[in-house]
A and B are shown apart, each in its own frame.
Chain A
Amino acid sequence: MSDHDDAQSHVKLYWMIGAALFALTIATVGVSKVHLVHPWGLIVGLAIATLKAGLVAAIFMHLKWESRFIYYFLGVTLAAVIILFAIPIWDFEYLRPLFVEHADVAAQGHEAAAHPPVHGAEAPASSHP
């Protein structure tokens, strides 16, 4: 197959992938509108996003036809990303029960900042029963 034919045969595929991405976008908005039970909305939403990203990477970014060298390279990247996600989240999940008050104070921002004297007053009281 010549390069010209190759490019032309891919054109049809590009349009199909584009249509699939449009349909999946409608699906993800629709799913988020029906309020699934707690973890399922998140799981379905992320699954659709991952599928869309996979289609873009495989077809539009030509990874389906890419050389093995790029695959190895992206494998290392993927491992680094997993570490990047797993360690802070695991650390946070492990430490959170120990410092749950601090985490909430940080997350509440201004609301929490408006009440620091209350926390300040409680702390010494509870440490000297």
Chain B
Amino acid sequence: MSAHAPAVQSPYENTGVPDGKLAIWLFLASEVMLFGTLFTSYIVLRTAAASWPRGWDVLNVPLATFNTFILIASSVTIVMAHAKAAARDKKGFMLNMGLTVLMAFVFLVVKYFEYSSKFAHGHYPSTSIFYGIYFTTTGLHGIHILGGIAWNLGLMWWANRDGWDDRLFIGRVEYAGLYWHFVDVVWIFLFPALYLL
């Protein structure tokens, strides 16, 4: 089943799946609840609102579309980083993980320009319910991007020290990937919800 984790992890496996994998899925389940609550609030507030702006009219759709492509590409590179780690190709791992981190920074830089433009036009979280929702959800998502950058940089740092041959290494790369894909999935729903629909 865990074809991607050739490293033996039996002492860390008490439930049939590696403890680390169970832990990360538990964490992601709690994250689903966190973002789910915000989506529920969004639906209720939008349904109640007398009027609601179209994303196309008030937000920068081309920039957000570009950011969507960036996040999808970074999901590909991090899953490639895991494949390279499983194939014991350190150079390939470092390259793909490095690209993942780079694209995460690009995402945040684009987000910075989006936020700056909103602030320059006097749009703040307190401006309206729409901007309240917009800044809360994208802001929380941005914090998750920051967390992913720290996690992935940490794995690269560890790989260059004694981590590469550690038997938990490949598993940890997979768990970092699971987290990063989750952040991607959140954006996959945020993008149409805020910008397109």
Task: List A residues at the B interface (Cβ < 8 Å).
Answer: 1, 3-4, 6-8, 10-11, 14-15, 17-18, 21-22, 25, 28-29, 32-33, 41-42, 45-46, 48-49, 52-53, 56-57, 60-62, 65-67, 69-70, 73-74, 76-77, 80-81, 84-85, 88-89, 92-93, 96, 103-104, 106-110
B179–chain A nearest beta-carbon distance, Å: 10
Q: Are A56 and B185 in contact (CB under 8 A)?
A: yes
Q: In the complex the two chains form, is A109's CB within 8 Å of B181's CB?
A: no
Contact A80 B33 (CB under 8 A): yes
> Once the chains bind, are A107 and B49 in contact (CB under 8 Å)?
yes
Cβ of B66 to closest chain A Cβ, rounded Å? 10
The 5 closest A-B pairs by CB, nearest first: A32-B196, A107-B49, A18-B76, A3-B6, A103-B48
Stretch at the interface among B78-86, B112-120, B138-146, B156-164: B78-86
Question: Among residues 159 to 197 in chain B, which have CB atoms less than 8 Å away from a CB atom of chain A?
Answer: 174, 177-178, 181-182, 184-185, 188-189, 191-193, 196-197
Chain A residues in 8 Å Cβ range of B16: 67, 69
> By the criterion CB–CB under 8 Å, are A18 and B72 in contact?
yes
Which residue, of A29, A61, A74, A103, has the highest number of chain B Cβ atoms within 10 A?
A: A61
Residues of B within 8 A of A14 (CB): 76, 79-80, 83
- With known contacts A56-B184, A70-B21, A6–B196 Cβ distance under 8 A: no
Q: Tell whether A65 pairs with B3 under 8 Å between CB atoms, given A11-B80, A25-B65.
A: yes
Which residues of the other chain, B, contact A53 by a CB distance below 8 angstroms? 185, 188-189
Q: Contacts of A89 on B, CB cut-off 8 Å?
A: 40, 43-44
Bound CA–CA A48/B4 (angstroms): 28
Q: Which residue of B lies closest to A15 (CB)?
A: B76
With contacts A53-B188, A74-B29, A84-B36 taken as known, whether A7 is within 8 angstroms of B69 at the C-beta atoms is no
Cα distance, A110 to B139, chains bound together (Å)? 23
| Complex contacts, B4 vs chain A, CB 8 Å | 3, 6-7, 62, 65
Would you call A81 and B196 a contact (CB within 8 A)?
A: no
- Expressed in whole angstroms, the minimum distance between the Cβ of B129 and any Cβ of chain A is 6
Which B residues are CB-close (under 8 A) to A110? 128
B25 interfacial contact with A, CB 8 Å: yes
Chain A residues positioned under 8 Å from B79 (CB to CB): 14, 60
Residue on A nearest B73 in the bound complex, by CB: A18
Please tell me which one of the listed residues B33, B37, B189 contacts residue A49 in the complex, with CB atoms under 8 A apart: B189
> Which of B26, B177, B181 counts the most chain A CB atoms within 10 A?
B181
Say whether B58 faces chain A, with CB atoms less than 8 Å apart: no
What 7 new A-B contacts, CB under 8 Å, besides A4-B88, A67-B1, A69-B15?
A: A11-B83, A32-B192, A48-B192, A69-B22, A73-B26, A104-B50, A109-B128
